[in-house]
Copies of this chain bind each other. A is one copy, B any other.
Amino acid sequence: MLALIEIAAICAFAISGLIESVRKRMDIVGVFTVAFVSAFGGGTVRDVLLDHRPFVWVVHQEYIWLVLGLTIAGPPLLRLMQHRAAVKLMQFTDALGLGLFAASGAALALVAGMPVTVVVLLGVITGVFGGVLRDVLCNEIPVVFQDHRPYALCAFIGCWVLVGLHTLEAPTWLSLTAGVVTTTGLRLLALALDWKIPAWPALRKPRS
């Protein structure tokens, strides 16, 4: 079951890379790289920071082939993505992926003995840095920094729930589940109710 959810999440993340890179008119090399980085970038950055090996995509070689398959099956998939139902499904899977990746990242940081603030930070990084690297490779300002919708914030709150339950010595399965449910639930609520994060007022140029 969990493996299936993970694969669905990887697909959702990879497809977000697919969409962005095809829009930029990249060739197969660019589309594959951007899809791969979208799916595995967050976890890889976390593992490099934690000095943790092996990476998910080294243990599961088959995931590399999965992304390659998605890259080659791209155009029909993307045509599908233009249907309203597919967009909804993607948003749902993406929210699930965010919850799953953030919780797994935080859990790994807990095992590595990190202090709680760092655990939360690494959880959020695992959830969102795939998207950040995708946008850097596509020469855009990362969407997650700019779209004023709660995304990283949901993961932030979900990771605190996980860490809080862990501190209260709740069993691991409970804190993990609560973390995933909080993150994914908040994200779906934010989408459904169209929540916005307030922006700072524009700045005048400093008179230096």
Residues in A lying within 8 Å of B, measured CB to CB: 19, 21-31, 33-34, 44, 48-49, 51, 53, 55, 57-58, 61, 64-65, 74-75, 78, 81-82, 84, 87, 114-118, 121, 132, 136-142, 144-148, 151-153, 197, 199-204, 206-208
Which of chain B's residues has its CB closest to A44's CB?
A: B49
Q: Which B residues lie within 8 Å of A121 (CB)?
A: 64
- What are 8 A-B interface contacts by the 8 Å CB criterion? A26-B145, A29-B144, A44-B49, A48-B48, A58-B115, A64-B118, A87-B206, A87-B208
Contact across chains for A29 and B87 when beta carbons are under 8 A apart = no
Q: Which B residues lie within 8 Å of A44 (CB)?
A: 49
Distance of A186 Cα from B151 Cα, bound (Å): 43
With contact pairs A145-B29, A146-B30, A200-B74 given, residues A57 and B118 touching in the complex (Cβ less than 8 Å): yes
Contact across chains for B141 and A26 when beta carbons are under 8 A apart = yes
Partner among B28, B34, B114, B139 whose Cβ is within 8 Å of the Cβ of A58: B114
Partner among B25, B141, B147 whose Cβ is within 8 Å of the Cβ of A138: B141
Contact across chains for B64 and A117 when beta carbons are under 8 A apart = yes
Contact across chains for B132 and A137 when beta carbons are under 8 A apart = yes
Contact across chains for B200 and A31 when beta carbons are under 8 A apart = yes
Contact across chains for A82 and B206 when beta carbons are under 8 A apart = yes
Contact across chains for B26 and A146 when beta carbons are under 8 A apart = yes
Closest 5 CB pairs of A and B: A30-B145, A29-B152, A61-B117, A27-B197, A27-B148
